[in-house]
Amino acid sequence: MNTPSPAIDAQRIEYSYDTDKVLNGIDLSIQPGTIIGLLGKNGCGKTTLINCLLGFLKIQSGASSILGDDSWDLSGDVRQRLAFVPQSNDLFDWMTTHQLVNYVSKFYANWNANLVNELLLEWKVPMTGVVREFSVGEAQKLAIVLAMGHEPELLIMDEPVAALDPSAKRKFIRQLIELNSEKGNTVLFSTHITADVERVAADVAIIRDGKTYFQGPIDELKEKVVKLHVTGTKDLNPLGRLFGVAALAVTGQEAVLTMENYSDSIRIQIEEQFDATVTPQTLGLEDIFVELADG
């Protein structure tokens, strides 16, 4: 059985702004139908990565393709099948919702007017007044509706819900993902809010130091990054020399360490080497993010 080609395939991408190397060999491979959250600290290169993937910026090293096309030279067919919602509001703010929908719809042959109308109603996007009178959240909802109007196979969103309040965010993002998973679309959305990812995405990609630290199911990440509580009779400071220790705090005969590559064999190794009792603690995504960021 043939494996479908990835919707997004990036290999060892590098990109620098003058002397500031933002992407330093990122790999990312996203299969069709995947909903994946792109996580990383502010300024870690999430937006730059998306801009490279979409061919707005030219990667300086490596290779990148979207729906089978080279990112730098996307064919018309591929551009019809994808949609992008940028971080900043790029809507023409002197248009009304109706005018914007009318304007954008003219660009697409397969515009689904019914879907757009339903979403506008469902998400309570204002239908009167021009966009510059909208709140940031309302404008962001409208931008997403416009991106979904032609039912794209691949939807890329750069911090799509940052402007929404927590309650609206929860409801909105759940509906958004449900809608796309029903149709088997691929969704990549960047954020630095881990709760958004944990709530809706099965997969996560974490960018750290310009590289992909992890890409895969969230559960796998939780199994991999674990906090260990160690109690022993020997000096516990040498624990820091173990491979994969992201953080270590030793207080007397007790130590708390975060392991990036945890497995049972490591636990057994610590127990034997330090004559200690080891209690693993599974971390939430937010804790993992904080531990890795601080580490």
Site for other proteins, rule CB under 8 A = 17-18, 51, 54-58, 72-77, 79-80, 82-84, 86, 88, 90, 92, 94-95, 99, 102-104, 106-108, 128-130, 132-133
Please enumerate in sequence order all residues whose Cβ is within 8 A of that of 56, keeping only pairs 6 or more positions apart, or say none: none
Nearer to other proteins, 74 or 162 (CB): 74
Q: How far is the CB of 198 from other proteins (least distance, A)?
A: 28
Q: How far is the CB of 129 from other proteins (least distance, A)?
A: 5
Q: How far is the CB of 51 from other proteins (least distance, A)?
A: 8
Q: How far is the CB of 281 from other proteins (least distance, A)?
A: 34
Which residues are paired to 245 by β-bridges?
Answer: 259
Nearer to other proteins, 84 or 172 (CB): 84
Nearer to other proteins, 106 or 241 (CB): 106
Nearer to other proteins, 84 or 289 (CB): 84
| ∠ Cα 46 70 209 (to 5°) | 25
User: How far is it, in rounded angstroms, from Cα 10 to Cα 32?
Assistant: 14
Q: How far is the CB of 75 from other proteins (least distance, A)?
A: 8
Nearer to other proteins, 92 or 118 (CB): 92
Q: Is the distance from CB of 142 to CB of 125 less than 8 angstroms?
A: yes
Q: In what order do the strands lie in the sheet with 8-17?
A: 20-30, 8-17, 61-66, 69-70
CA-CA-CA-CA torsion sign (15, 16, 20, 21): positive
Give CA torsion, residues 278, 284, 285, 287, to 10 deg.
-70
